[in-house]
Amino acid sequence: MTLIPSISIAVIPIHAPCLRLIARGLRSGNAVTMQPYPIAANPAAGLDRTMKTGEQTSVVQAIRAMLPQGVGLAVCDIDVPQPPLWPEEEAAVRRAVPSRIREFTAGRAAARLAMTDMGLMPGAVTTTAARAPAWPPGVSGSITHTARIAAAVVSRQADWPAIGLDLERAEPMSDDMAELIRHPLDHVDPVLSEPLAATLLFSAKEAAFKAQFPLTGLWIDYSQVPLTITADGFTLSVQGVPLSGHWRRAGELFATTVLIGREHADALRLGEGIWSV
């Protein structure tokens, strides 16, 4: 019999409502696979004061469906007070406006919940000189925000050296903005209506950027990054290294993920700083 983790969602008390995934042992005769887990929601009373439970749960379900084993996930409501930042984290938002402090705090709360659910010791997630999250030693992850939601995914660096996560509102992008992020060779599956294609392209490129940046230090012009989007995934190449990601629609949001394994991470670290088809 193989021990396979099952997944359920729990919500911490109302002062910091966040949906998180908790791995529990389940004996099964099946082999361990990389398939998504079934999810059941157990929301705390009062969560719907600011965000409907179903809305938050749908985001968790959409992201979870894209993640393999060994990746923790938590989603927090930005509009509800969260646990205070750790002292090491406060410097990054010392002069920030209140809205930025709220989203930053919710993102760090989600990151620590995701670490805990992975069985990792929660630690400070500080900020690099490039304003990217600086994860504790041995941890990789990604944080994203929308107007109301902060989400974080976390893994052991030995399993997944780099991860990218992005959430964007599924709304049409202005033509001027779309021109800034489109490449002539971008391709979007016809399953997606054209008014939303540019928004999904942006989200996919954002997730890819977040994943590759800790490995390469590359800043990119999204209009120079050709990307192909299929019915539920996307592909691109960085420094000749093929990368792939997934996307899902979660109500009014697009969710995109890119996970980089050890072999591709090593190849990216040795690359020459080129994005290509």
Q: Which residues are annotated as a binding site for CoA?
A: 100, 108, 144-145, 166, 206, 210
Report the interhelical angle of 262-269 vs 194-216 (nearest 10°).
Answer: 70
Phi/psi at 116 (5° precision): -60, -45
Q: Which residues contact 266 (CB under 8 A, 6 or more apart)?
A: none
Neighbours of 179 (CB within 10 A): 11
Distances (CA, A) of 73 to 88, 170, 260: 23, 21, 17
Using CB atoms within 10 Å of the CB of residue 230, give its burial: 0 to 12 exposed, 13 to 18 middle, 19+ buried: middle
Residue list, annotated binding site: 100, 108, 144-145, 166, 168, 206, 210
Instruction: At 248, give phi and psi (nearest 5°).
Output: -145, 155
Nearest by Cα to 13 from 38, 40, 49, 54: 49
Dig out the tokens for 72 from the structure. 């923790």
Residue ranges for the known binding site for Mg(2+) are: 166, 168
Is residue 208 within 8 Å of 167, Cβ to Cβ? Answer: no
Query: Two tokens at 216?
Result: 């390469």
Letter for the amino acid at 26?
L
